[in-house]
Amino acid sequence: MLESQRERVPLNDGGELDTALAFLSFARSCVLKKVDGLDDEQLRRRLVVSDTTLLGLVQHLTDAERYWFGYTLAGDLRYADVDFDMVVAPDRSADQVIAGYRNAIADSDAHIRAADGLDVRTARPVNDEPRTLRWVLAHMTSETVRHAGHADILRELTDGVTGR
């Protein structure tokens, strides 16, 4: 099957932050492409034994953005207890979940840009010690890429659409 959603990886190489943000943005974009054009039933469809769905992945990544950049990096207590759940409540629309992800991304990017470089330490510890923004960016990129791969498979099983 032809890859109908293929796009090139970023070629940004203007510095460590520029490159890191480009790859995180690319991974986020890949996740959003996987949910584009699907209806609510398709987005909530369970295709694997676990509770993982396309919409659930988006909700989970929203919580991850808020926790790692909002709480861990910036210290915002509103996000201290996110649950990372993949089960989307029936009363939350797909549009609400996806808009929440977009908003969390914008907030995360604002926290990243407000930081004074990649060596800035997190406001909240990770395993009892602060980490650098560099570490948080690497962690969130790997988390987003991993779930983008899950989304690739779920989208292909849903309607045959493939590509990064």
Supply the pTM of this predicted model. 0.94
Q: Which residues of 116-139 are buried (b: 16+ CB within 10 A; e: fewer)?
A: eebebebebeeeeeebbbebbbbe
The greatest distance separating any two alpha carbons of the chain, rounded to the nearest whole angstrom, comes to 48
What mean pLDDT is predicted for residues 48-62? 97
pLDDT at 75 (0 to 100): 98
What mean pLDDT is predicted for residues 68-95? 97
What mean pLDDT is predicted for residues 96-112? 98
What sign for the dihedral angle of Cα 95, 155, 86, 132?
A: negative
pLDDT band at 10 (very low <50, low <70, confident <90, very high): confident
- The third-level CATH classification (topology) of the domain covering 16-159 is Four Helix Bundle (Hemerythrin (Met), subunit A) (1.20.120)
Is 143's pLDDT higher than 50? yes
Residues 6 or more apart whose Cβ sits within 8 Å of residue 161: 4, 5, 155
Is 5's pLDDT higher than 60? no
pLDDT at 2 (0 to 100): 47
**Region for 123 from its dihedrals, namely left if φ exceeds 0, alpha if ψ lies in -120 to 50, beta otherwise:** alpha
Average pLDDT over all residues of the chain: 94
Q: How many CA atoms lie within 13 A of 134 on its CB side?
A: 7
pLDDT at 158 (0 to 100): 95
**Where do the domains of the chain lie?**
16-159
pLDDT band at 123 (very low <50, low <70, confident <90, very high): very high
